[in-house]
A and B are shown apart, each in its own frame.
Chain A
Amino acid sequence: MPAGQGTLMDFASFLIQMLNSLQYGLLLFLVASGLTLVFGIMGIINLAHGSFYMIGAYLAFVLTSATGSLFLAILLGIPLTFIVGAFLEWALFSHLYKREHLEQVLLTYGLILIFEELRSLLVGDEVHGVDIPAIFSASIPLSDVLSYPVYRLVISGVCIVLAVALYFVIQRTRLGMMIRAGNHDRTMVEALGININMIYRVVFALGFALAALAGMLAAPISSVFPNMGSHVLIISFVIVVIGGIGSVWGALIAALVIGFADTFGKVLLPDYAGMVVYLVMAVVLLWRPEGILKKG
């Protein structure tokens, strides 16, 4: 360990890397929360979830170009993706509940191909940037050489607000109660006279909108490019596996762990960075084959 000033600087940059990890982890949580809900409540494996993220990012690009404002784009985008999500559930996913996982894999794999090609037909294959809204485009000086972009803090803030909101919805509302009940036993809920199909539709649409929102928020910092959903999809899978299927809180913990492992892996072990998150997953599986927090 270098002494004096060196250690002090190292600690400062360690804190900044922590901030980077937190921001990345929270964004991943936003994507993974929808995935784990759909997995846990409906028992559906949805490979197209990464495409929802991609769709969100492209919506941000298209709507920002059209309206001139990312705020407007997001305000329009959330209800839009919610409606599309509800439609998809009605048209496709509602037919999958009683099917084998293999068929779910297949159908959603086909959906990925369709979404990517539609994206290619409608928007093209170029990489696009989305401008950060002017009021968040500043940077805060953190050390004598480094500044931190305000927009990244905004993303983290939005994600935290949403996580809290999700907590309230699930723990304190009637909808949340029904979701929790549906998670345990479908027939029982139906016996109580609750319209489970409507719950499924809302949950699925919510999952779509959350993933798309993550894509919209990330668009200015990640740019918008073809196949951007597939990396996010696999990382989300890992998060769901680590956190435990169906557990939103497991997903939150897992997303933060992954954000941390990925960020520090990139800097400390660049040759092994891609593997770090999967190694974390392997260790967790050895320790708890059903994830940190079992569902329920």
Chain B
Amino acid sequence: MGHNLNKAFKFGIGMALAAGLTSGAQAADDKIKVGFMLPYTGTYASLGNAITNGFKQYVAEQGGKLSGREIEYFTVDDESDPAKATENANKLVKRDKVDLLVGTVHSGVALAMAKVARENKTLLIVPNAGADEITGPLCAPNVFRSSFTNWQPAYAMGKVAAQKGYKKVVTLTWKYAAGLQSIDGFKEAFEQAGGKVVKDMTLPFPNVEFQPFLTEIASLKPDAVFVFFAGAGAAKFVKDYAAAGLNKTVPLLGSGFLTDGNLDAMGDSGKALQTTLHYADGLDNKKDQAFRLTYAKTYKMQPDVYAVQGYDAAQLYGAGLKAAGGDVSKQADVIKGMEAAKIDSPRGAFTLSKAHNPVQDIYLREVQGGQNKVIGIPTKALADPARGCKL
């Protein structure tokens, strides 16, 4: 027993020492600390990298500095694992003491980050996760988003589905926040316009055995199917849908994440798929062309919506820093600057709602020749209803 005690004793001393050392090492430096908490492994790894690339591209375009201050980056791989989210966020907030927290892709993880950010008053920009709550009931002065709410693209698709004259629709998604909230957004618009969702089906994330659900869809014979899937699972779903022959009789609709970054993997099965999103290929805007050219040159690959969101996160922070004269300690001024910013985004210019979410156009896109070509704008300057936000 004595030996075990010894171990405990030594480890305790070690921890106390470690704590002392890091507090001593907190030397004053004048770099601005930006912490990326993004998925660098797992299903969403490529998204995390695209966001990081986009962010760094904007900073590089400004000469490597924002408001005259150099940027120091800290990174934590969140593994898209909500169970580790609070601890991971604390690593950046409490251990590294970052000035700006940027993250993440997975909605559940982002919710945990928003909680940590609120409790510690750390500035947070969410560059992807669409969880409605972040700019809804859980909104906060120091929490911003440069992407979308799950509600936004899905709501637009609900309108489109009703306009196409569909009456009876079946939905299918992974059972997690992003999926369920997308379904709600779709339903809201679709049922307001007189349609009816006859069945909601879910499967656990990131399960990709769709066969029983395809069989069920075939037996229900709806006018259309609305789904929310993203990443590799989305490509798999579209392929399975085509292999089951359903694409010939039951049109497939989805939030744009169904096809974004997945067109190669889908091959022919993705042909003529229609989706809604706040970004598309073939946008007629100069900013987008310049952005894409630089991105392709720098990173030797084509940018996607995630890169745009990362780029805009940096733009947004840049606007805030400018308003505060580069002084991160004046957080209220940074926030005011961010709230007032009009972001000249590759997706088209946008402003922020009171709840700190982009007010933006949602595009209807169709898969044509390996691209998500814009074919219409069903909703212009769509703002999330931000239900429950008291800002």
In the assembly, what is the distance between CA of A23 and CA of B46, in Å?
33
Contact of B45 among A125, A128, A141, A143 (CB under 8 A): A125
- Which of A7-15, A67-75, A90-98, A190-198 has 4 or more CB atoms under 8 Å from chain B? A7-15
Closest to B175 in A: A270
Interface residues on B, range: 35 or more
- Which of B16-24, B128-136, B241-249 has 4 or more CB atoms under 8 Å from chain A? B241-249
Cβ of A230: which chain B residues have Cβ within 8 Å of it? none
Interface residues on A, range: 35 or more
Contact of B211 among A137, A145, A152, A226 (CB under 8 A): A152
- Which of B61-69, B143-151, B158-166, B201-209 has 4 or more CB atoms under 8 Å from chain A? B201-209
Contact of A13 among B204, B219, B235, B265 (CB under 8 A): B219
Contact check, A129 vs B209: say whether CB atoms are below 8 A apart. no
Asked whether A222 is an interface residue with its Cβ less than 8 Å from the other chain, the reply is yes
Cβ of A12: which chain B residues have Cβ within 8 Å of it? 219
B30-51 interface with A by 8 A CB criterion: 41-43, 45-46
Asked whether B83 is an interface residue with its Cβ less than 8 Å from the other chain, the reply is no
Asked whether B197 is an interface residue with its Cβ less than 8 Å from the other chain, the reply is no
A222-247 toward B: CB 8 Å interface, digit per residue (1/0)? 11011000000000000000000000
B209-231 toward A: CB 8 Å interface, digit per residue (1/0)? 10111111011010000000001
Contact check, B41 vs A120: say whether CB atoms are below 8 A apart. yes
**Max chain B CB contacts within 10 Å: which of A17, A223, A263?**
A223
Closest to B214 in A: A146
In the assembly, what is the distance between CA of A127 and CA of B45, in Å?
9
Asked whether B108 is an interface residue with its Cβ less than 8 Å from the other chain, the reply is no
Asked whether A24 is an interface residue with its Cβ less than 8 Å from the other chain, the reply is yes
Once A13-B216, A270-B201 are accepted as A-B contacts, the answer to whether A225 and B43 lie under 8 Å apart by CB is: yes
Asked whether A65 is an interface residue with its Cβ less than 8 Å from the other chain, the reply is no
Asked whether A88 is an interface residue with its Cβ less than 8 Å from the other chain, the reply is no
Cβ of B231: which chain A residues have Cβ within 8 Å of it? 127
In the assembly, what is the distance between CA of A128 and CA of B232, in Å?
7
Contact check, B212 vs A145: say whether CB atoms are below 8 A apart. no
In the assembly, what is the distance between CA of A12 and CA of B213, in Å?
15
Contact check, B246 vs A145: say whether CB atoms are below 8 A apart. yes
Cβ of A20: which chain B residues have Cβ within 8 Å of it? 211-212, 215
Cβ of B245: which chain A residues have Cβ within 8 Å of it? 139, 141, 145-147
Asked whether B236 is an interface residue with its Cβ less than 8 Å from the other chain, the reply is yes
B90-139 interface with A by 8 A CB criterion: none
Contact check, B236 vs A223: say whether CB atoms are below 8 A apart. yes
Cβ of A13: which chain B residues have Cβ within 8 Å of it? 215-216, 218-219
In the assembly, what is the distance between CA of A127 and CA of B235, in Å?
11
Asked whether B382 is an interface residue with its Cβ less than 8 Å from the other chain, the reply is no
A255-269 toward B: CB 8 Å interface, digit per residue (1/0)? 000000001101100
In the assembly, what is the distance between CA of A149 and CA of B239, in Å?
11
Once A129-B235, A267-B212 are accepted as A-B contacts, the answer to whether A225 and B206 lie under 8 Å apart by CB is: yes
Asked whether A274 is an interface residue with its Cβ less than 8 Å from the other chain, the reply is yes
B308-337 interface with A by 8 A CB criterion: none
In the assembly, what is the distance between CA of A176 and CA of B218, in Å?
45
Closest to A264 in B: B212
Contact check, A146 vs B236: say whether CB atoms are below 8 A apart. no
Asked whether A16 is an interface residue with its Cβ less than 8 Å from the other chain, the reply is yes
Contact check, A149 vs B243: say whether CB atoms are below 8 A apart. yes
Contact of A222 among B42, B208, B243 (CB under 8 A): B208
Contact of A266 among B203, B218, B250 (CB under 8 A): B203
Contact check, A125 vs B208: say whether CB atoms are below 8 A apart. no
Q: Could you list 17 examples of A-B contacts with CB < 8 Å?
A: A10-B219, A12-B219, A17-B215, A20-B211, A120-B41, A125-B45, A126-B232, A127-B233, A129-B232, A141-B245, A145-B221, A145-B245, A225-B43, A225-B232, A226-B41, A266-B203, A267-B213
A-B CB proximity, top 3 nearest:
A147-B245, A146-B218, A13-B219
| 17 extra interface residue pairs, beta carbon distance < 8 Å, beyond A24-B209, A274-B204 | A10-B219, A12-B219, A13-B215, A16-B215, A16-B218, A17-B212, A125-B42, A127-B233, A139-B243, A139-B245, A145-B221, A145-B245, A146-B218, A148-B244, A266-B213, A267-B213, A273-B203
